[in-house]
Structure 1
């Protein structure tokens, strides 16, 4: 009986890990398609976020507003994430991944491209709708290109 339980636990861990990585990919797709309602579904209503230099954001409305203001004026963006590390403990989890985000605004003086590279570190909670981010920290590791692209 214990072997069956071990297999069930391992299977659940793999399903949870896959669901959390899929959530990270949904986040990127929402950013790149400017689908703000979809972005809301990635976070808990009372989520917090530290997204670079701005102060701590509290609540999904503040998080979506901050991201929308940063990306809405762009012609395009492409957020790539990889090297996912997921640790699940019951209905709580942590997730860490690296990112590279290309930002494009063709009318920007000084060139149309700006790249941000860094990592996301998340605390997640299992809900009846699936995993949701309770807190996200973005740590910028390096940038390249024309910073004027991302300034409105």
Structure 2
């Protein structure tokens, strides 16, 4: 993965080469550099989007409501089945309804999300993404037990602050959404349903 100074060195080298070639008026070499610049941008966009998706789970697991809702656009949408939350305020209210107020020094020792199989397609300042998730909870003897799995289907947009989720559709696969709601209610937890 390209990070920090390496990223800047690559950008600088591309810019310096483009400047030198434009002075020489070598159009084929300049076109090759522009193609390289586009490829580097595409890789950076894909990595940035994967980071948003990974951060989503990290903020959710840490009960970091501000970090979580900050990954969405102001009018972003979160949807699962018949449940739809629009805008950061509604999304935050959903989290507070599910988990309640979080203590300042909260550490989650009961559950975590695992995200994988990223598919990212970028077109300009918009992107579509699919990823798979498994939600683990503490089982007997503290062993991690898979409880829920599914897919996230995202529409993202490039903003001045970076990539943000404009719409996330959470497709629960195993158990089904109905089975999961029943399980949540059986455990005495708050449901996502209205």
Q: Which TM-score bucket, shorter chain as reference?
A: 0.7 to 0.9
Q: Which runs of 5 or more residues in structure 2 are unaligned?
A: 1-29, 102-107
- How many matched pairs? 146
Select the residue among 64, 69, 77 that pairs with 2:92. Answer: 64
How do 1:1-152 residues align onto structure 2 when only pairs under 5 Å count? 1-54=30-83, 56-72=84-100, 76-104=110-138, 115-143=147-175, 147=183, 148-149=186-187, 151-152=189-190
SS class of match (1:34) = coil
Question: 2 CA distance for matches of 1:66 and 1:105?
Answer: 25
User: Which of 1 and 2 has greater Rg?
Assistant: 2
Question: 2 CA distance for matches of 1:68 and 1:101?
Answer: 19
**1:2 Cα deviation after fit:** 1.1
After superposition, the Cα gap between the structure-2 partners of 1:95 and 1:28, relative to the gap in structure 1 and judged at 3 Å, is same
**What are the Cα deviations for residues 44-99 of structure 1, in whole angstroms up to 9, with x where unaligned?**
01011212442x21111111221332344986220111000000111100111000
So what's the TM-score if we normalise by structure 1? 0.84
So what's the TM-score if we normalise by structure 2? 0.67
After superposition, the Cα gap between the structure-2 partners of 1:11 and 1:150, relative to the gap in structure 1 and judged at 3 Å, is farther
Which structure dedicates a bigger proportion of its chain to strand? 1
After superposition, the Cα gap between the structure-2 partners of 1:150 and 1:38, relative to the gap in structure 1 and judged at 3 Å, is farther
Which structure dedicates a bigger proportion of its chain to helix? 2
